[in-house]
Structure 1
Amino acid sequence: MNKEEISKLLLLGENQIVEFKEMCKPDAIGRIVCSFLNSGGGYVICGIKNGGVPIGIKNAIQVRLELEKDLITKIIPKAIVYLEVQEIQGLDVVIVEVPGGKDIPYAYNNSIYIREGEKTLKASVNIIKDMIMRRQVEPERWERRFSNADIEVDIDSDELHTTVDATFETRLIVFRDPENLVMVLEDLAVFKYGRLTNAGDVLFTKNPSSRYPQVRVRAARYKTDKTDNAYQDMKSFEGPLGEVLEQVYTFIIRNTPTVSRFARSSLVRQDDSLYPEDAVREGLVNAFAHRDYSDFSGGVSVNIYPDRLEIWNSGSFPDGITPETMASGHISILRNPDIAHILYLRGMMEKLGRGSMLIRKACDDRQLLAPQWTSDKYKGVTLTLFAAEVTAEVTTEVTTEVTTEVKSVIKAVDGELSRHDLQQKLGLKHDEHFRKAYLLPSLEAGCIEMTIPDKPNSRLQKYRLTAKGKQIRKILGKEDQL
């Protein structure tokens, strides 16, 4: 969450999803976090007086760490909660971001809490019964189902020890007996009633693809484009998730050239990978954490072209999330919370719901085109990173392929506009001329899109820029400044 977003929350004041606390007392915060998990999510901001006045938290970083350990230890079932320290008006505040939980009811210190307006209340017996009934009616997540893996034969003990070692420094979780593999798996919530869950299988067995072929990952580097079908390197990866993630990352770095450049006022050459390494890693982690594991025809694939890198995963964006909101500070909606929780404990998933923001920032820092996300429930989710060289190609496309009329539409669209408002903004009187020369070419070029594509003639229909349209608009803005 950035400072602007925090300022907005302070101005809005406390409500159903926001609570201010002057201090960071773990028990008080734990009860509120539990209520948010059971009630759709929310934010706790510590170091704020009533009325939204910052007073700060002393030793905020240490306080954050202690609070994080308390929440991880005392909230049952396991849940990912993101904590950060931000400076507001010269004072440090601790922010706790809580996604709505998928495994209600959640308990803190053996008590269940809910949110009612601005209050955190202990859940009544009837409410708890209702929560349990809803959970029983809802289909069980794939990652929670039991695997047929043999705990004695299939477990990759090295991978499990790697996870244990990764938690020692942060102490985010305390294992009852780090040497007892079964107890470690139980503490990680992936082993129940003597059986491994699918999440545990994917994360900690030697070859989960022998039971679930969809967990294999395919990566390829193409000489020109996929239609050419001529690839220079291709590999299929299988094994425990963490190991595969590292291998795919290495494949990408190995198959992309190094770009050398000189910083201003410096004689020292700086060598960088063609794509920002932070963006590549975050893109992969997001794909592994958010993919639809239940789709036997799905998976994760990586395609490397001369001008772009594509990371694809099966599934779709959660309800309410669009490509346009990917870089905003939304509360993360986790498809696979158990898998994401262990990636978080291992330090692979550092910022809950912030992966897309980090990807965009990494690209901005390197002055690359903005990353592009596309989603289709039948085709999956694709993240595209563009190489530095593609900027010139896109500029050429703008000046040669996009008509003057389409450029006018791109410049005119601000947010979402109805057809009438857009036509009026362009100063055009003839409806048919506007439709044929401006609206349809802009849609066909992929520069704008309908807000209600399933009902093109709806009276509520509006139009907005696509990711491509936004990129072209950015280039047109630079041209206007010359």
Structure 2
Amino acid sequence: MAKLSDFAHLREHARLEAKRAQGGLPKSIWETYSAFANTEGGIILLGVDEEPDGSLKPVGISHPERLERDFWNTVNNPNRASVNILTSHDVRIDTVEGPEEPVDILVITVPRAPRELRPVFVGGNPLTGTYRRNGEGDYRCSPESYQAMVRDASASPLDTLLLDEVTTDAISPDTLASYRNMLSSLRPNHPWNELPDEDFLIKLGAAGPSAGSAGLRLTRAGLLMFGYEHEIVREFPSFFLDYREIYEEGAARWTDRITSNSGDWSGNVFEFWFRVSNRLTADLRKPFELDNNQLRVDSTPMHDAVREGLVNALIHADYLGRRPVVVQKYRNRVEFSNPGDMRVPVEVALQGGISDTRNPTLMKMFSLLAACERAGSGLDAIQRACRQAQAEPPTMHVSYDPDCTKLVVPLGTASAFADSATASGPATLATPSGERQRVLRYIEMHGPSKRIEIQEALGVGSTKAKRLLSAMVAEGLIRTEGASNQTVYLLA
């Protein structure tokens, strides 16, 4: 025989909604059904009262079979519930210990609805019958939250949409050149390196021909990745990228900040990623070790973890939402916040292996630069990095209305903030040493230099030289100009 205490532990993982059933189904059960389905799921107990202290008191139901039948008839009525997401295993009658004798209760387990079926609404009107869970209660969703769920339910990725009114003039030429230089440095034999800019943008999914109009038009992904900020906000009015360094816990202000609307740079997603990824890893400890090719290892799993967290926030953001993308770097953790709900349950995302990216074209663009994983293993890698750094596990939290997802990555012993940062200012990038310093000195003395020239000056093989130069480009120490055999390296 079950006990109500058997359900108590579920409060940590799913919501419990205790409802007393006297002669029929409570009217509020349908609001709770919608709220659970549109949030993280939960359990409804019929025949149970909740005491003021939060404890559960069994009162029982007199005709459990009839109540169960009424529930199934109603949940399958499209005029009452937009969709039935339950199986026969989700509804059952349990006998539990009562105050004096065993009583029957009805247990209804409502799962989180797949995004394709959301919003789950009741009463026939989605604008007034869509609910979500907030704390211990159900609340009617605002039109903004409703529209966000509708966007996520679409089978067509929103970032592939071609913008008929936005031409390639909205692109920052410097941003596109930087992206192409990085790609040619990391993938020198990639067939797209030789393409003209317009053909390259088409291959990348950043632009395409518009019916009835001459010239190319940008996709949403192309505008976000390469566009000027003042052009981006015409399509995405709430677009805002914000990076803050906060070295004093609880401080009212940041120590340093990068924002997309500052006006002194393009303000697009690619340049934000490039600027912030270096800042995030500038003062993480680096081990002194060599790989099999005797190239110094200047990166750790924690370096990769915070970079992955940054890219995740950018490619999963709902840029039509009202929240900004915010990255906050503290002494002991980094917090990544992006607009939009999780498209898969939080626990599934943390387990890894499943990817449901809100902006797959942006993900493709970053994947070409080896900046993110495509197999849903990014969060799994972050968890491994936290374990290796003897840090607490990463956490994810979703808030609603407006929707926002926050990932917190503790840094543990991998952080060198205590050694390199003070309250008076931000940490600075450590001075490159060894072969990196020799490369920088060579370029400083000789100007734009080809890889073969640097290779001969270092006295290393071509493979090692390619890897070293690619790493220095990714770290922002040097940059490239030209393509293929005409590529030269310059100081960043």
TM-score band w.r.t. shorter chain = 0.3 to 0.5
TM-score where L is the length of structure 2: 0.43
- Greater radius of gyration (CA): 2
